[in-house]
Chains A and B, each alone.
Chain A
Amino acid sequence: MSATPEAAPAARARRRARPRVNLTRWAKGGGLHAVLFAVPVVVVYLYFSWGPVVQGLVFSFQKTNLIRPAEWVGWSNFEYVLGDPGLVQASLNTAYFALLALVFGFPIPIILAVLVTELRKYDTLYNALAYLPAVIPPVAAILLWKFFYDPDSTGLFNSVLGWFGLGPYPWLNDSSSAMPSIVLYATWAGAGSTAIIYIAALATVRTELYEAAEIDGAGIWRRIWHITLPQLRGVIFVMMLLQLIGTFQIFSEPFLFTGGGPNNATQTILLKIYNYAFVNGDFGAATALSVLLALALGLLSAVYYFVTRKWSAA
């Protein structure tokens, strides 16, 4: 939180002190410009965010297929959604994905970035190679990986592991390994682009500190742990937030890989919402679950904010 807290009240006070007399005054004082800047913002949000959201809220209390007239059905959409036996599992799966994605997807880019930064030669080659997965259109990559995950012993991953006497593994075809398989893909797809950001951040680490530490006799690991990582704290914090937000929106991966299977092991909340709306045509249930998810996310963000406020201010 390094905003300039003194500036804000001061400016507000100045503005409040100014007498409001006429339109010319208001326009000259920046009012006109404020409106000018507000127009595109308000128009875009009104049409593409607020309006649809409000209509979505209305849908959650209706039964409608948009061809017949809508009927008000009270809380019954919410009752149906909350009574759906699959809801608990979908929530747990989403949390499980978030956890796995953090465990794997979070440290790997940092390790990669630290290593690449230490290179004295060919670092651009490493950089470019690491970034390649992010260049591949994700849908193409998923189609490929889906094929790589072929559970037969002739499958690509299984034949490679077979050379070392391992496997064959069921990958996506087993409730316990399906989600980790999806996370493995997601890590591959995301690690390079995240690492690039860390690499750039590492360039700003104050190197004097390393020298001081070295003189004090600190080894390489201690230097990484006590100097590099703490200096990356800010960017780590932002990337972690981004990844968290991303994991709750996890949709295309399970959708294209498994469709939520096997036995609902990769069914996420977003996939469920999607199924309500687009498989069942039940827009009421879909928006009702969206509202519930929004409430949960709001709560979670508040908790995250309060827990990390201390930490990031430290």
Chain B
Amino acid sequence: MTLTGKPSRARRKAGEAKERGVISTTDRKRPIVRTWFTIVQTILLIVLIITGLGPLLWSAKASISSSNAIVTEPMGIWFTPAEWGNLLLAWNGAQIGRSLINTVILAVGSTASTLIVSVAAAYLLSVLRPKWGPILSGAILATLFLPGVISFVPLYLTILDMPLLHIGLQDTFWAVWLPAGASAFNVVVLKRFFDSIPREYMEAAKIDGAGPIRILTMVVLPLSRPILGVIVLLSVVGSWKEFLWPMLVLSNPELQPVSVMLPKLAAGNSPLSVQMAAVFLSILVPVVIFAIFQKQFLRGVGSAGGIKG
């Protein structure tokens, strides 16, 4: 696995006008290439519109239809938008607004926690290299192969009453944030990346009188931006998806993320139309936010592509 970063290169590329790709300018002038390319391009656009916007549009329609219409005529174009109350019921009943905010809080906190712990561990193991490093490294690596479920119940007991400290984290965001910090995979990936940073940079900084913390913040972290992007992306997506653990440790509805709220609505005898309205709202809000910050977001995610062999 080579995670050698060529970050400077990637950044330079992004800033410039697009260079040629596989298909050259000469190719583009050939009629056969042009025809095919246009066809493929159009099909791709249609497919992407259906897959990307379809669910949003359909759930928008369903959210203002009656339960009966949703079941009997899911693809009916003509429908009576009779049930505006569904949206209100869903917004209030499922607390979509609050649970979306909770989802974001959980994602941000979990990401921060995994970044802090993993960077500290990787820096320790890759750069500081204390004598007891290999032991710590082995202990972290060993957890890589253990599926989370093995410790699910004991972890829950830990959250309820932390040994020695006797603090209960149940029904606090910490119950989700802190366990997210212990991610062996991220430590491994980061350590490999740190290993590949030329030591001369750090030696030079050291000669300039920088301590370990300054070396980390001034040399190592800036050079590691691409890999940090990957870790942020993976951990945000991961926490976006998580629902069993938050369901267990966050029993207070005020703290529950959308992923816990929605299945509960489905199991709680809410009418189908209200469920669909809740689904629609929980799709709409992130999609709107994404649309607004789309450029910054994709660029940020894109920096993850700096990992390259």
Is A17 at the interface (CB under 8 A from chain B)? no
Is A50 at the interface (CB under 8 A from chain B)? yes
* Cβ distance B124 to chain A, nearest Cβ, rounded Å: 4
**A-contact 0/1 string along B202-238, CB 8 Å cutoff:** 0000000001110000000000000000100110010
**Do A234 and B3 touch (CB < 8 A)?**
yes
**Do A124 and B295 touch (CB < 8 A)?**
yes
A-B contacts, 16 of them at CB < 8 A, read: A1-B2, A4-B195, A44-B117, A47-B163, A48-B178, A49-B151, A118-B23, A129-B45, A129-B48, A129-B52, A141-B55, A148-B74, A155-B74, A197-B301, A201-B305, A220-B22
CA distance A117 to B40 in the complex (A): 13
Interface residues of A in 220-237 (CB under 8 A from B): 220, 223-224, 227-228, 231-235, 237
**Do B128 and A33 touch (CB < 8 A)?**
yes
Q: Could you list 5 further interchain pairs (A-B, Cβ under 8 angstroms) beyond the known A137-B240, A197-B304?
A: A112-B44, A135-B286, A138-B241, A211-B20, A220-B27
**Do B153 and A234 touch (CB < 8 A)?**
no
**Do A207 and B19 touch (CB < 8 A)?**
yes
**Do B1 and A312 touch (CB < 8 A)?**
yes
Residue of B nearest to A237 (CB): B1
Question: Which residues of chain A have a CB within 8 Å of any CB of chain B?
Answer: 1-4, 7-8, 11-12, 15, 30-31, 33-35, 37-38, 40-42, 44-45, 47-53, 55-57, 59, 66, 112, 114-120, 124, 126-141, 143-144, 147-148, 150, 154-156, 159-160, 188, 192-193, 196-204, 207, 210-211, 214, 220, 223-224, 227-228, 231-235, 237-238, 241-242, 245, 248-249, 251-252, 256, 270, 273-274, 277, 283, 286-287, 290-291, 293-294, 297-298, 301, 308, 312
- Give the residue of A116, A143, A188 whose beta carbon is less than 8 angstroms from that of B266: A143
Rank and list the top 10 A-B pairs by shortest CB-CB distance, nearest first. A200-B305, A234-B309, A290-B150, A52-B151, A55-B154, A132-B52, A52-B154, A200-B302, A34-B130, A129-B52
CA distance A40 to B115 in the complex (A): 12
Question: Which residues of chain B have a CB within 8 Å of any CB of chain A?
Answer: 1-4, 6, 9-10, 13-14, 18-24, 26-27, 33, 37, 40-41, 44-45, 48-49, 51-53, 55-56, 58-59, 70-75, 103, 113, 116-117, 120-121, 123-124, 128-131, 136, 139-140, 143-155, 157-158, 162-163, 178-179, 181-182, 184-185, 192, 195-196, 198-199, 211-213, 230, 233-234, 237, 240-241, 243-244, 258-259, 262-263, 266, 275-276, 279, 282-283, 286-287, 290-291, 294-295, 298, 301-309
Number of A-B contacts (CB under 8 A): 338
Residue of B nearest to A241 (CB): B1
**Do B152 and A294 touch (CB < 8 A)?**
no
Most chain-A CB neighbours within 10 Å: which of B130, B147, B213, B279? B147
**Do B1 and A154 touch (CB < 8 A)?**
no
CA distance A298 to B20 in the complex (A): 44
Residue of B nearest to A111 (CB): B44
Specify which chain A residues have a CB less than 8 angstroms from the CB of B27 in the assembled complex. 220
**Do B45 and A237 touch (CB < 8 A)?**
no
**Do A137 and B21 touch (CB < 8 A)?**
no
* Cβ distance A79 to chain B, nearest Cβ, rounded Å: 18
Specify which chain B residues have a CB less than 8 angstroms from the CB of A4 in the assembled complex. 195-196, 198-199
Consensus secondary structure, chain B interface: helix
**Do B130 and A210 touch (CB < 8 A)?**
no
**Do A150 and B146 touch (CB < 8 A)?**
no
Using known A-B contacts A33-B128, A45-B143, determine if residue A234 contacts B22 with beta carbons closer than 8 Å.
no
CA distance A298 to B159 in the complex (A): 27
**Do A286 and B147 touch (CB < 8 A)?**
no
**Do B21 and A294 touch (CB < 8 A)?**
no
CA distance A214 to B21 in the complex (A): 12
**Do A245 and B185 touch (CB < 8 A)?**
yes
**Do A137 and B286 touch (CB < 8 A)?**
yes
Using known A-B contacts A2-B196, A252-B243, A297-B147, determine if residue A140 contacts B283 with beta carbons closer than 8 Å.
yes
Specify which chain B residues have a CB less than 8 angstroms from the CB of A131 in the assembled complex. 52, 290, 298, 301
**Do B147 and A48 touch (CB < 8 A)?**
no
CA distance A293 to B150 in the complex (A): 9
